[in-house]
Structure 1
Amino acid sequence: MNKCHICSKEFSKKSNLTVHMTIHTGEKPFKCDTCDKAVRTSYELTVHKRNHSGEKPYSCDTCEKTFSQQSNLVLHKRIHTGEKPYCCDKCEKTFSQQSSLNLHKRIHTGEKQFKCDLCEKTFSQQSHLIHHKRIPTGEKPYSCEICKKSFTKSSDLSRHEKSVRHLKQLESVKNSVPPSTSTSFVDCCEANTKLEIKEEETLDEDPLSIKMEAESVEVIIKEEIKEEEGIESEEFF
């Protein structure tokens, strides 16, 4: 048996022990010839190179979505099967991913390792901290390709795209575009949302807009607090 002299972990093959040792040494002998990124194993390098080539050799036999890694395909398939093999030993809540369980456990431990450098508010997840920092800047990096509405969180964009209103708007636009028209699909979408955009512009010109924006920020903060208290969303696409 091949045993690590640092952490005492044992391996059946010496080659596996050799790879394991790079965790302790920090050695990354395999280097990408495109971006110079270095990784520990030849397999990691193969997977990384698919980011450049766009290769996704693993395909879901249910919805035909493709992935660059087999592990991602395994996780994705649990969306269809509903399988959640990872269970919390405190409240018995189950998850499809080990990483999601690890994040969930912080609710019980109270661990909040991510801290805002502006207001010192702490969060259990880095993504929550990133969302929090967008409040004062007003940054909304996630935009709907159909109606151009933008969102602070990717989950908000996904919720918008799945909304009944959005789907009805999409269907309406498809039905309203004649095959011979020169008007683009996006232009028609923008025309359908003209009233909504106009309302937003009117709100910006309202003298009370600053007060309303402050109230909006307060709502966002309350939503983040609710998330921190255990309201989690788990998606893997």
Structure 2
Amino acid sequence: MLSCYICRKKFSFKSDLLIHLEIHEEDKPFKCELCEKTFSEDCILTEHIRIHTGEKPFKCNFCKQAFSDRSDLTKHKRIHTGEKPYFCDTCETSFYTNRDLKIHKRIHKGEKPYACNICEKAFKNQSNLNVHKRIHTGEKPYSCDICRKSFTQVGQLIRHEMIHTGEKPYSCDSCEKSFHSKGELALHNINHTGEKPFKCYTCNKAFSQQSNLTVHYSIHTNKKPYSCNTCKKAFRTNGELTVHMRTHTGEKSFKCDICEKAFSHQSSLTVHERIHTGQKPYSCDACEKHFSRQNHLIIHKRTHTGEKPYSCDTCKKAFTQQGQLTLHKRTHTGEKPYSCVLCQKSFKTTSNMITHNKTARHLKKLESTKNADSPSASTSFVDCSESDVKLEIKEEETLDEDPLSINMEAESVEETIKQEIKEDEGIDSEEFV
């Protein structure tokens, strides 16, 4: 134990003692020439100067992370060893440092001594308040050296840099899946336990995370507070808006190592990689069928339960998927939002338009357009024949029927096209019509 030479208060770590010494108004003859801060001892000044020089002589033999102070290294090593010597006498939770324990105890006391002078929101510790204030100032002091993206917290930067390095140091003991952070691993472990403690008071649907429940509530309220400045499209979460913005910027920073196909979102890349690995981690407990995406499993389960949660406001007909309902509504409105660029024929779905585009008559016209030598050549086309697009007519005859429960793993042309188009936006293919 280390003791303060002035008041004899004891500390476990030298860094805590150094912080404590600053409260004493004693003579501090040792002055930093860079920032003019003064210290009571020469050794304390030496350690302080490392802040300016960036020197970090103490390295972790587990992960090679370096520190400017030996006591910081000692605390860091406990992450690897799992040692947590400080216990809460109220709930028996353990911590790496005594400082973390003191902050934790404020949860039981309800103590939040640090308040924001702008919005008056209170926090348990000063560091959380400092991070919060950056919401008001817009400050993002931590930048990635590779892509220049900025962050409000150093922890966010560290996790972001792992995207570039591919490092995932935290592995699941049950399925060996790896994650960038300990928090991501903790959330993942809930998938194995099946625990869903957060329940919607409107429909009783349960979730494993509070954040997922918060997003779910917006389905009932229809609130979409996040709007795109470019096209004014609105979204339920800031994350959805961020992904959407990449459709305008064209940014695709997540690349497949096998085929080099690029994606705008990490989740889209993860799903794509399963095409190469053949991995289908989501299985139906009723028929043991496997799926590559969780939302595909959810839709499949409705074939067993008979659930049809999406109903038409006009005729009350119900459907298993939102996309089916959207298609059905067009039978009432007559809407045909997809048009052929050559003959201007309109369609209710993209798949039918693509089928039309593959007809012999259409391909011949397209080739004529490419080979045309005069402006008048582009206007010499005849209308596309209905006989060339029999599948389009069939769509009109069968649309009112309840579509078969779609096997989202099927390799049909329509679903493959939907998936390829929507992968880059990170949007479920069932929502795209």
Using the size of structure 1 for normalisation, the TM-score is: 0.60
Match of 1:93 among 155, 163, 177: 177
Match of 1:37 among 121, 124, 128: 121
| Aligned equivalents of 2:95, 2:243: Cα separation in 1 | 46
Q: Greater relative contact order (Cα 8 A, min sep 6): structure 1 or 2?
A: 1
Residues 97 and 157 of structure 1, relative CA distance in 2, 3 Å threshold: same
Structure 1 residue aligned with 2:139: 55
Q: Secondary structure at the match of 1:61?
A: coil
The percent identity for this pair of structures is: 46
Structure 2 residue aligned with 1:148: 232
Structure 2 residue aligned with 1:25: 109
Structure 2 residue aligned with 1:106: 190
Match of 2:223 among 139, 150, 156: 139
TM-superposed CA distance for 1:95, in Å, is: 1.3
Residues 57 and 215 of structure 1, relative CA distance in 2, 3 Å threshold: same
| Aligned equivalents of 1:133, 1:12: Cα separation in 2 | 38
Contact kept, 8 Å, 1:114 with 1:125, in 2: the verdict is: yes
| Aligned equivalents of 2:208, 2:221: Cα separation in 1 | 22
Structure 2 residue aligned with 1:70: 154
Q: Secondary structure at the match of 1:135?
A: helix
Match of 1:117 among 201, 209, 221: 201
Residues 46 and 213 of structure 1, relative CA distance in 2, 3 Å threshold: farther
TM-superposed CA distance for 1:76, in Å, is: 1.6
Residues 119 and 73 of structure 1, relative CA distance in 2, 3 Å threshold: same
| Matched residue type, 1:120 | N
TM-superposed CA distance for 1:8, in Å, is: 7.9
| Aligned equivalents of 1:78, 1:30: Cα separation in 2 | 32
Contact kept, 8 Å, 2:88 with 2:101, in 1: the verdict is: no
Residues 156 and 217 of structure 1, relative CA distance in 2, 3 Å threshold: farther
| Aligned equivalents of 1:12, 1:159: Cα separation in 2 | 38
TM-superposed CA distance for 1:10, in Å, is: 7.1
| Aligned equivalents of 2:152, 2:142: Cα separation in 1 | 6
Q: Secondary structure at the match of 1:45?
A: helix
| Aligned equivalents of 2:319, 2:164: Cα separation in 1 | 39
| Aligned equivalents of 2:239, 2:144: Cα separation in 1 | 23
Residues 120 and 71 of structure 1, relative CA distance in 2, 3 Å threshold: same
TM-superposed CA distance for 1:91, in Å, is: 0.5
Using the size of structure 2 for normalisation, the TM-score is: 0.35
TM-superposed CA distance for 1:31, in Å, is: 2.3
When you count helix as a share of all residues, which structure comes out higher? 1
| Matched residue type, 2:224 | K
| Aligned equivalents of 1:116, 1:39: Cα separation in 2 | 27
Q: Deviations over 1:2-56 (max 9, x none)?
A: 655613857776x665445434433222222222222222222222222222222
Structure 1 residue aligned with 2:382: none
| Aligned equivalents of 2:204, 2:115: Cα separation in 1 | 38
Structure 2: gaps spanning 5 or more residues: 2-11, 13-85, 251-311, 325-404, 406-425, 427-433
Q: Secondary structure at the match of 1:63?
A: coil
TM-superposed CA distance for 1:114, in Å, is: 1.6
Greater C-alpha radius of gyration: 2
The two structures, once aligned, show a CA RMSD in angstroms of 3.6
Structure 1: gaps spanning 5 or more residues: 169-207, 223-232
| Matched residue type, 2:180 | S
Task: State how 1:154-193 maps to structure 2 within 5 Å.
Answer: 154-163=238-247, 166=248
Residues 215 and 126 of structure 1, relative CA distance in 2, 3 Å threshold: farther
TM-superposed CA distance for 1:93, in Å, is: 0.9
Contact kept, 8 Å, 1:135 with 1:217, in 2: the verdict is: no
